[in-house]
Amino acid sequence: MNPDGPDGRNGPATDDSVLLKEITDLAGSPLPEPVFLQELLKRAVPALGASAGAVWMFDDQKRLVLQCEVQLKSTGFLDDPEMRSSFERPFAEVLQGGGVRAHSYELAPSGNGVRKGCVLLGGLQRESGVAGILQLFEGEGAGEPERPNRLRALEQICSQVARYCQQRKAGAQRAEQPAPSTGIEDSWLLAIHESLRANEVAMVAANECRRLLGVDRVGIAERYGPRAKLRAVSGQQSVNARSNVVRLLSKLTEQVLLAGEKLSFTGDTRNLPPQYEKILADYLHESRSRAIVILPVSGPENRDREETKSPAEREELARPKPVGAVIVEQISETPLPPDLDSRLDTIGRHVGLALRNAQAHERIFLVSLWELLGSWRSKLKGRRVAQWAAALAALAAVVLALIFVTWDYRVSGKGKLMPIDRRGIFAPWDGEVFELFVNSGQKVNEGDLLIRMKNDELHAKLLLAKNTLSDKQQEKDAIVATLSDPALLQSAAQEVELRGKQMQLAVEIEGAAQQVKNLSGRVEALSVRAPITGVVATFRIEELLRKRPVKQGELLLEVMDPTGRWRLELDIPENRIGHIIDAQRKKADPNLAVRYVLATATELTYDGTLESLATRSVTSESEGTVVPAFVALAEPTPPDPRIGAEVTAKINCGKKSLGYVLFGDVIEFLRKWFWL
């Protein structure tokens, strides 16, 4: 609140009803607003038995300033910041919701004791909302029981302020109303607003404006994106866009539309902006015109600009972008009419509105088609039989089109893009992954060590077998040494026994050696090597395998060769397989055409051929019962394919009726449940 404002004085003591009547008479008077508010306050203070009063109004910057006051300084309101701060909340409530209210205040004691009292607040309404506050301090003898009566009287006073604002606005509107139009002007307005085609509007406006303005030539230009396009020139059937005059005039009009201000040249270039000088000089030299006026025209002002809070936004909305321009030229020695500016401003508003409406109409998508349909609809109004006949004919045409028009029927399936040459690495025996030699995505060669496992039981069996083999070999060597020394033989029977035991040990040694060989092979198999050259395709190997026990036959990782051939591995819904088999039988060729798109590049499509179908169905967690299918890729293939990239493919199953292509699911549902 700004406390600076004019001083006021109390009026003479008068009867309350007389003062209220005077306020009513003031509301109907043509007084200026500051004078009206001052006179109203002088009567409102004694009428309500107040000791002081003030009127606070919003200025152009939406600040609440003191408009007028009566004995306000005696209350201490202007000098006491604490007192003013206590009124911020009630002021805000009245400004937001309007109406009247009483605000009691009690402040800290000063030299004169405790300061307290009651203030009556009333919102002052304008057409756009609450525009100010009427503030009245109750006198010392004002009793609280009569306060509702004082609030009702305050409400009546505030309503007279709203009545004053309404009457003043109505008077201003009546003053701004133009004089009654003549028959000629009415016919011109009807002609310019008759068409919704920009070319027709421009042609009518150019010829009629030349007649109404009394000038040599008038042109109408339309804003065409960032450029200006000359649509019509008075007295000409068409405009040659390639002529130098039209090109220079279009460039000059573009600069005027960009600035948004009227350009007037009557022979003096000293006051013209510099961006106009060269283009204007070139155009005047080419066209031989002596005077030119270019007025940017636009549609109606934005009615919602009052709701915006920022002054910059209000100013921007109050000046809508031009939709075109009216170009007035004088070629002869005759000067321009003296009232050209006023007449041109009036005409420009209608030209801008007509052009704006034509542009909005032409921006409608397929406007010619909608106009054709609308004309037929208007012809059928009120003709029930014709309407039913047209509806049945349209329905019959749609049904016949669905039956006899054929379209490609495609069966969709989802799958992955995979290399053909790939191998799965399985656990050769039960064990624990002891050591990893590769990472995900690493290139490997055939025979490279990938994983090393350990199996304590297998190692124990190998050690036992080796010890057993060593013991039997030592035992055999002892028998051979005994047989080779006759002195050690006690009898022939002992020799026979030793030779039999030697033969038995030979057999046992051979079996033990075979067992050691088998166990050594098993232990060697725990060191898993790459079966082919390729890339390790398994993701997050470290998390999945390191220090993890595995079972024999469990898949450890996959190695794929991305440099070889690729194919699509699709899952086709089981209920669509019949269409594929039927198409293969009709074409006598199992290799049906396939078109697919990668999930990583949906803007590109590629072709392929159906290579094979699985002979049995499988269950998919996401798609239900499906039949796997393989698709061979045709050139060109996707650049830099990713292993396992998701694809959506459509298999061409030949021509079928348009109705089946669009509503095949419904037809199959009916056939399934009703056996049609």
CATH of the domain at 583: 2.40.30.170
Give the residue carrying structure tokens 């508003």.
Answer: 349
Cβ atoms of 117 and 139 closer than 8 Å: no
Name the band, by pLDDT with cuts 50, 70 and 90, for residue 179. very low
621 token code pair: 């967690």
Q: Is residue 377 domain-shared with residue 449, that is, in the same domain?
A: no
- Name which of 439, 639, 645 is nearest 559 in CA terms: 439
Query: Residue 204: in which H helix or E strand, if any?
Result: helix 198-213
CB atoms within 10 A of CB 169: 12
In sequence order, what DSSP letters do the residues of 585-643 get, joined into one string?
A: HHHT-S--EEEEEETTEEEEEEEEEEEEE-SS-EEETTTEEEEEEEEEEPSSPPSSPPT
Domain boundary among 505, 531, 558: 558
Give me the residues paired with residue 70 across strands.
Answer: 53
Domain boundary among 148, 176, 204: 176
Cα separation of 213 and 329, whole Å? Answer: 11
Q: Is residue 575 domain-shared with residue 542, that is, in the same domain?
A: no
Cα separation of 465 and 471, whole Å? Answer: 10
Cα separation of 36 and 55, whole Å? Answer: 11
Residues in CB range of 660: below 8 A, 6 or more apart: 409, 667
**Alpha carbon distances (Å) from 598 to 100, 554, 562, 568, 607:** 70, 31, 17, 11, 11
Cα separation of 237 and 227, whole Å? Answer: 22
Give the residue carrying structure tokens 């450890």.
Answer: 556
- Name which of 587, 583, 609 is nearest 596 in CA terms: 609
Q: Give 27-72 pLDDT, tens digit per residue.
A: 777 788 888 888 888 888 888 888 899 998 888 888 888 889 988 8
Question: What is residue 271's predicted lDDT score, i.e. its pLDDT?
Answer: 73
Q: Is residue 375 domain-shared with residue 516, that is, in the same domain?
A: no
Cα separation of 361 and 617, whole Å? Answer: 58
Q: Is residue 224 domain-shared with residue 355, that is, in the same domain?
A: yes
Q: Is residue 303 domain-shared with residue 191, that is, in the same domain?
A: yes
Cα separation of 206 and 217, whole Å? Answer: 8
Tell me whether residue 325 is in a domain.
yes
Cα separation of 304 and 637, whole Å? Answer: 57
Give me the residues paired with residue 58 across strands.
Answer: 64
Tell me whether residue 408 is in a domain.
no
Least confident of 450-459, 471-480, 491-500: 491-500
For residue 636, whether the previous peptide bond is cis, meaning omega lies within 30 degrees of 0, is: yes
Name the band, by pLDDT with cuts 50, 70 and 90, for residue 327. very high
Domain boundary among 543, 558, 573: 558
565 token code pair: 């051939």
Least confident of 154-163, 399-408, 498-507: 498-507
Cα separation of 482 and 475, whole Å? Answer: 11
* Reported pTM: 0.43
Q: Is residue 552 domain-shared with residue 576, that is, in the same domain?
A: no
Question: What is residue 4's predicted lDDT score, i.e. its pLDDT?
Answer: 43
Q: Mean pLDDT across the stretch 59-88?
A: 85
Q: Is residue 231 domain-shared with residue 295, that is, in the same domain?
A: yes
Handedness of CA 530, 536, 537, 539 (dihedral sign): positive
CATH number at residue 302: 3.30.450.40
Cβ atoms of 228 and 323 closer than 8 Å: no
Tell me whether residue 353 is in a domain.
yes
Tell me whether residue 352 is in a domain.
yes
Residues in CB range of 629: below 8 A, 6 or more apart: 413, 415, 569, 570, 571, 572, 580, 610, 611, 612, 613, 614, 651
Query: Residue 324: in which H helix or E strand, if any?
Result: strand 324-330
In sequence order, what DSSP letters do the residues of 251-295 get, joined into one string?
A: HHHHHHHHHTS-EEESS--TTS-HHHHHHHHHHHHHH--SEEEEE
Cα separation of 229 and 247, whole Å? Answer: 9
Q: What angle do CA 643, 647, 652 make, to 5 degrees?
A: 135
The share of the chain scoring above pLDDT 90, in percent, equals 7
- Name which of 420, 418, 300, 416 is nearest 357 in CA terms: 300
- Name which of 103, 70, 78, 75 is nearest 2 in CA terms: 78
Q: Mean pLDDT across the stretch 349-361?
A: 89
Q: Could you tell me which residue, 302 or 377, shows the higher pLDDT?
A: 377
Cα separation of 191 and 441, whole Å? Answer: 76
Name the band, by pLDDT with cuts 50, 70 and 90, for residue 12. very low
Name the band, by pLDDT with cuts 50, 70 and 90, for residue 112. low
Tell me whether residue 414 is in a domain.
no
Q: Is residue 468 domain-shared with residue 549, that is, in the same domain?
A: yes
Environment class of residue 198 by beta-carbon count within 10 Å: exposed (0-12), middle (13-18) or buried (19+)?
buried
Domain that holds residue 303: 185-362
342 token code pair: 């006023």
Handedness of CA 235, 239, 244, 246 (dihedral sign): positive
480 token code pair: 């051979």
Cα separation of 249 and 233, whole Å? Answer: 12
In sequence order, what DSSP letters do the residues of 87-124 get, joined into one string?
A: THHHHHHHHHH-SEEEEEEEEEEETTEEEEEEEEEEEE
3-state secondary structure 361-426: HHCCCCHHHHHHHHHHHHHCCCCHHHHHHHHHHHHHHHHHHHHHCEEEEEEEEEEEEEECCEEEEE
Query: Residue 335: in which H helix or E strand, if any?
Result: none
Number of domains present in the structure of the chain: 5
173 token code pair: 């509107």
Give the residue carrying structure tokens 């061409």.
Answer: 652
Give me the residues paired with residue 194 across strands.
Answer: none
Q: Is residue 542 domain-shared with residue 635, that is, in the same domain?
A: no
Tell me whether residue 260 is in a domain.
yes
Tell me whether residue 10 is in a domain.
no
Q: Is residue 608 domain-shared with residue 661, that is, in the same domain?
A: yes
Q: Could you tell me which residue, 403 or 461, shows the higher pLDDT?
A: 403
Residue 667 has pLDDT above 90, yes or no: no
Question: What is residue 143's predicted lDDT score, i.e. its pLDDT?
Answer: 79
Question: What is residue 5's predicted lDDT score, i.e. its pLDDT?
Answer: 41
Q: Give 597-614 pLDDT, tens digit per residue.
A: 998 888 889 999 988 888
Q: Give 522-574 pLDDT, tens digit per residue.
A: 777 778 888 888 888 888 877 777 777 888 888 888 888 888 888 888 888 88
Q: Give 246-299 pLDDT, tens digit per residue.
A: 999 999 999 999 888 899 888 777 777 888 888 888 898 888 888 899 999 987
Cα separation of 215 and 510, whole Å? Answer: 127
At 475 the three-state DSSP class reads: helix
Cα separation of 368 and 153, whole Å? Answer: 63
- Name which of 85, 63, 11, 69 is nearest 37 in CA terms: 69
Q: Is residue 87 domain-shared with residue 30, that is, in the same domain?
A: yes
Q: Is residue 535 domain-shared with residue 586, that is, in the same domain?
A: no
Tell me whether residue 6 is in a domain.
no
| Integer-rounded Cα radius of gyration of the chain | 50
Torsions phi, psi of 84, nearest 5? -65, -40
